[in-house]
Amino acid sequence: MKRYYLIVKGKVQGVGFRAFTQQKAAQYEVSGHVMNHMDGSVGIEAQGDEQKLERFISAIRTGSPYSSVEEVTTEDKEVLENELSFSIRY
């Protein structure tokens, strides 16, 4: 089990990117959350099985149909034991 904090830069706001992220989290059984940042980037905390998490991050790097991902940075985070779902934060 791993947990990462991702910062996604590019055209990722106003294009359905958070909903896309939530869909991919469900597909790959990843928990955590996604939220827009004031600087135009999107922040994601994602936790799950390491192989599924890598596939999730790969999908995030590719982006949604209307987004244009320019950069994704990742940082290790401490695993949260009781987190069961993935949410969009506002």
Q: Is 18 a catalytic residue?
A: yes
Between CA 10 and CA 70 the distance in angstroms is 5
Q: Which of 18, 55, 61, 82 is catalytic?
A: 18
> For residue 75, which amino acid is it?
E
Q: Is 36 a catalytic residue?
A: yes
Between CA 33 and CA 14 the distance in angstroms is 17
3-state secondary structure of 53: helix
Q: Judge contact between 77 and 44, C-beta under 8 A.
A: no
Q: Which of 3, 36, 61, 89 is catalytic?
A: 36
Catalytic residues: 18, 36
